[in-house]
């Protein structure tokens, strides 16, 4: 009897660490962006919903590296070195999982972290191939994640449905890798819809107004906001400048990003990823790795399945625009 009781106690003691395991996650991101905050909050909520609660059986250390708007070659080098030094620190700390937020944090830290045998997931990456994935759906060696990729064809198709007469769209973007790749892909697909895209690359610290007026002078009939930190890093100041121009010229804005304050959004039509949904998807991937021992490279790159389409009724009224009933039935009013 005593022997049986002893065996039972030993069994329970050995089982406890598995049931009440403490997990450590490191989060690394570049740029203090509200959309990233939304994704991380949703990630934590998904983990908590499934029994991994920060402060109880889960510890999360989040490092945010500031992105300098006026970054020249030396400032960019400093950001690069900060990413590398944090990657080395994380590799030394040996957490159970690393989550990188955005392209730079992923691209420049993953090799060190994966090389240390630590599973890595990315989130909020717009073009998975830019961080080493085999494709937009296939992961890379030792890592996977969730993308905010939006096919420009979907955006252009809905834009043409909404504004059938539009033939020329203007895009202002920064040197953000995701933005450049997105604009190039949009240009390659725009002819299919009888649309020409005129683009202008600016510095992240540049004012929107001069370039916006330049494109208006070239005859654009709408603006497209691409996925680009240029709009988010400065508290959406470029969007406010854009809004002044579009109200003056009475031209609409289509956006591939749903973000910003109500006073500064400026778009009429939003065909954009929901960062909350993307963060939740990353949480689901994290649970598979932490709780089920799944290798990250076996997880396909995840993506929000259903397009989020929103319309800003206030902007519609301000521009005196009427949208087709088909679009009104598809879209949700912006909060």
| Confidence band of 303 (pLDDT split at 50, 70, 90) | very high
Chain-centroid distance of CA 133 in Å reads 16
Q: Is there a contact between 200 and 172 (Cβ–Cβ < 8 Å)?
A: yes
Tens of pLDDT, residue by residue over 19-46, are: 456 999 999 999 888 889 999 999 999 9
Residue among 252, 234, 267 at smallest CA distance from 168: 252
What pLDDT score does 73 carry? 64
When the pLDDT of each residue in the chain is averaged and rounded to a whole number, the result is 89
Query: Buried (b) or exposed (e) across 230-269, using 16+ Cβ within 10 A?
Result: bbbbbebebbbbbbebbeeeebbbbbbbbbbeeebbbbbb
Mean pLDDT value of segment 192-196: 96
**Structural domains in the chain, sorted by start:** 12-148+275-303 (3.40.50.2300), 152-272+308-333 (3.40.50.2300)
pLDDT digits (tens, 9 = 90+) for 97-112: 999 999 999 999 999 9
Share of residues in the chain with pLDDT > 90 (%): 67
Q: Which has more pLDDT, 211 or 19?
A: 211
pLDDT for residue 68: 65
Judge residue 276's burial from the number of C-beta atoms within 10 Å of its C-beta, 0-12 exposed, 13-18 middle, 19 or more buried.
middle
Say how far apart CA 53 and CA 283 lie, in whole Å.
Answer: 12
Query: Rounded to two decimals, what is the model's pTM?
Result: 0.83
Does pLDDT of 293 surpass 80?
yes
Q: Lowest-confidence range among 112-116, 140-144, 154-158, 308-312?
A: 308-312
* Contacts for 175 with CB less than 8 Å, ≥ 6 apart: 201, 203, 204
Rg (Cα) of the chain, in Å, rounded? 23
Q: To the nearest whole percent, how much of the chain has pLDDT over 70?
A: 90
Q: Is 70 exceeded by the pLDDT of residue 72? A: no
Average pLDDT over residues 223-244: 87
Look at residue 177 in the predicted model and tell me its pLDDT: 86
Give the number of residues written for the chain: 335
Confidence (pLDDT) at 262: 60
Across the range 218-225, mean pLDDT stands at 96
């Amino acid at each position: 009897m005593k022997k049986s009781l002893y065996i039972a106690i030993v069994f329970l003691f050995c089982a406890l660490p598995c049931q009440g395991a403490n997990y450590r996650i490191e989060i690394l991101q570049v740029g203090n962006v509200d959309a990233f905050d939304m994704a991380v909050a949703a990630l934590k909520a998904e983990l908590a919903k499934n029994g991994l609660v920060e402060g109880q059986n889960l510890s999360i250390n989040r490092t945010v590296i500031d992105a300098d708007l006026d970054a020249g070659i030396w400032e960019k080098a400093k950001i690069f070195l900060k990413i590398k030094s944090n990657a080395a620190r994380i590799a030394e700390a040996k957490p159970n999982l690393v989550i990188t937020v955005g392209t730079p944090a992923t691209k420049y830290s993953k090799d060190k972290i994966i090389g240390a045998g630590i599973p890595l997931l990315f989130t909020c990456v717009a073009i998975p191939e830019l961080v080493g994935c085999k494709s937009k759906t296939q992961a890379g060696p030792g890592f996977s994640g969730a993308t905010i990729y939006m096919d420009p064809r979907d955006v252009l198709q809905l834009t043409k449905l909404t504004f059938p007469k539009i033939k020329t769209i203007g895009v202002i973007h920064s040197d953000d890798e995701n933005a450049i790749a997105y604009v190039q892909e949009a240009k390659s697909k725009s002819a299919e819809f009888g649309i020409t895209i005129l683009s202008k690359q600016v510095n992240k610290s540049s004012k929107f107004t001069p370039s916006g007026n330049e494109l208006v002078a070239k005859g654009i009939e709408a603006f497209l906001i691409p996925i680009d930190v240029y709009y988010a890093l400065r508290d959406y100041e470029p969007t406010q400048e854009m809004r002044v121009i579009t109200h003056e010229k009475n031209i609409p804005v289509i956006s591939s990003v749903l973000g910003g304050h109500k006073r500064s959004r400026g778009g009429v039509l939003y065909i954009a990823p929901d960062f909350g949904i993307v963060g939740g998807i990353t949480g689901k991937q994290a649970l598979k790795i932490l709780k089920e021992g799944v290798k990250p490279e076996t997880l396909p790159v995840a993506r929000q399945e259903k397009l989020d389409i929103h319309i800003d009724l206030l902007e519609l009224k301000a521009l005196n625009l009427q949208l087709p009933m088909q679009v009104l039935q598809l879209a949700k009013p912006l909060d």
